[in-house]
Amino acid sequence: MTHREAKMSFVAEVLPVLIEREENGPDYPLRREAWNTYVDMLHRSDIITDFQADNWCTPSVLENE
């Protein structure tokens, strides 16, 4: 899985659930934590490599821009 594919999957499947739970606007720390948990799950499931897990940055869509 590439970083782009992981980001697209996260944005389609996880981010909508987070947005639903955000009462006072975007919770960027929660989004970053969810991304890190997602990457960890991909790594533990052998979907991505050690290198990918260690080097993927948080997608800009999850950051306070």
Domain range for residue 46?
3-18+27-55
Is there a domain that residue 9 lies in?
A: yes
Is there a domain that residue 62 lies in?
A: no
Is there a domain that residue 61 lies in?
A: no
Is there a domain that residue 64 lies in?
A: no
CA distance 41 to 6: 11
Is there a domain that residue 44 lies in?
A: yes
- For the stretch 1-37, pLDDT in tens is 999 999 999 999 999 999 999 988 888 999 999 999 9
The per-residue pLDDT for 64 is 62
pLDDT at 65 over 70: no
- For the stretch 34-50, pLDDT in tens is 999 999 999 999 999 99
Is there a domain that residue 36 lies in?
A: yes
Is there a domain that residue 47 lies in?
A: yes
Entry pTM: 0.87
The per-residue pLDDT for 62 is 72
Cβ-proximal residues to 64 (8 Å cutoff; 6+ apart), any chain: 26, 28
Q: How many folded domains does the chain comprise? A: 1
